[in-house]
Amino acid sequence: MASGDSLSRRGVLWDLDGTLADSRDYHWRAWQEALGEEGVRVTEDQFQASFGQRNDSILAAWLGADADPAVVRRIGEAKEAYYRRLVREEGIDPLPGARDWIETLHSDGWRQAIASSAPRLNVEVMHRALGFGDRIQVLVGAQDVSRGKPDPEVFLLAAKRLGISPDRCVVVEDAGAGIEAANRAGMASIGVGGEGVSAARVVVNTLSELPGNAFELLVKQG
């Protein structure tokens, strides 16, 4: 990217679950439904440890590496179908500060993407339910990459699709795997939630706590 225009661009790459919206309960209910149909049970601690990972990694940990691929696929597809139904039927609201920041960044000329470990259909359903519209220009989900977080592929692809150099991007994440992915991508990061995100450049409990110049400062610092 050598042009002056491309060098002036700035991008924000948003994680979705736990960062822009709290969909934890929907995921938990959907996993319980899908796993219960197969006679499988997991604890809330196991569920908590799965945050930020793709379904193939999650189910390998829960069912064992030698689990029948057909069973893994069936459970994963059922879970996501239940999850999307819950979002459509019950709706979902952005977390504190999320909508305000997306609006502000859009007004200030930042390009924005959702870069998630979730299946692409989930990302699309959530994006519509949250009502962010064209303020988010790019959506990247699990099917768009071959490796999940903490591999940086999802963030590098989102930056490429936005047309912005990695060093001009800021990642916003609530999971340690996502912060590691951002660091490996050479991107500044904001950790939301406090737990497991201490490696981020900035850590806050909620997005509404961020100072007004937080994103600008992170890009300037490089």
pLDDT at 65: 86
User: Rounded CA gap, 135 and 102, in Å?
Assistant: 7
CA distance 193 to 207: 9
The model's pLDDT over 109-121, given as tens digits with 9 standing for 90+, comes to 999 999 998 889 9
Work out the pLDDT band at 32, boundaries 50, 70, 90. Answer: very high
Choose, from 5, 17, 144, 167, the residue flagged as catalytic: 17
pLDDT in tens, 34-91: 999 999 999 999 998 887 788 888 999 999 989 999 999 999 999 999 999 999 999 9
Considering only CA atoms, which of 27, 210, 195 is closest in space to residue 102? Answer: 210
DSSP string over 97-162: THHHHHHHHHHTT-EEEEE-SS-HHHHHHHHHHHT-GGGS-EEE-GGG-SS-TTSTHHHHHHHHHH
- Kindly list the distances between the CA atom of residue 137 and the CA atoms of 126, 149, 169, in Å, as whole numbers in the listed order: 14, 21, 14
Integer CA distances (angstroms), 2 to 99, 158, 165, in order = 32, 19, 10
56 is catalytic: no
pLDDT digits (tens, 9 = 90+) for 86-103: 999 999 999 999 999 999
DSSP string, 59-99: HHHHH-TTS-HHHHHHHHHHHHHHHHHHHHHH---BPTTHH
Q: Could you check whether the bond before residue 119 is cis, i.e. omega within 30 degrees of 0?
A: no
Catalytic residue (one of 15, 66, 108, 144) = 15
Predicted local distance difference test score (pLDDT) of residue 195: 77
Overall pTM surpassing 0.75 (yes/no): yes
* 93 is a catalytic site residue: no
The answer for residues whose C-beta is within 8 angstroms of residue 199's C-beta and 6 or more apart is 176, 179, 180, 183, 189, 191
